[in-house]
Amino acid sequence: EDKVVQSPLSLVVHEGDTVTLNCSYEVTNFRSLLWYKQEKKAPTFLFMLTSSGIEKKSGRLSSILDKKELFSILNITATQTGDSAIYLCAVDSNYQLIWGAGTKLIIKP
């Protein structure tokens, strides 16, 4: 059975800290791994990763994939209160997205 596991489930840090969110997966036919950010409304796309070792960056956010060890990490440096959200990881397996439960990140001022 395909599954995606995110850790930690929740995390509270102070503004300015760096955080690392984890996503591990076991799927039958890996095509890509995606990260989404969900604030109060719908998830919004952050990154798509298909190849191991190639870092994707967008401002203070970055992500990398390890297809040998079957995991990805999402890093956020110099966190701000606006980074508070649920971060969702999903893996495209056979053209369906398998979703993790999400990591709830709270940034305290």
**81: closest CA among 44, 102, 108, 59?**
108
**By C-beta, is 78 or 101 nearer to another protein?**
101
Closest CB 73 distance from another protein, rounded Å: 18
Binding mask 69-88 vs another protein (x if CB under 8 A, - otherwise)?
Answer: -------------------x
Name residues whose C-beta falls within 8 Å of residue 96's C-beta, 6 or more positions apart in sequence.
none
Binding mask 86-105 vs another protein (x if CB under 8 A, - otherwise)?
Answer: --x-x-x--xxx-xxxx---
**88: closest CA among 30, 26, 40, 43?**
43
With contacts defined by CB under 8 A, name the span among 17-25, 44-52, 59-67, 73-81 that binds another protein.
Answer: 44-52
**88: closest CA among 41, 18, 13, 23?**
23
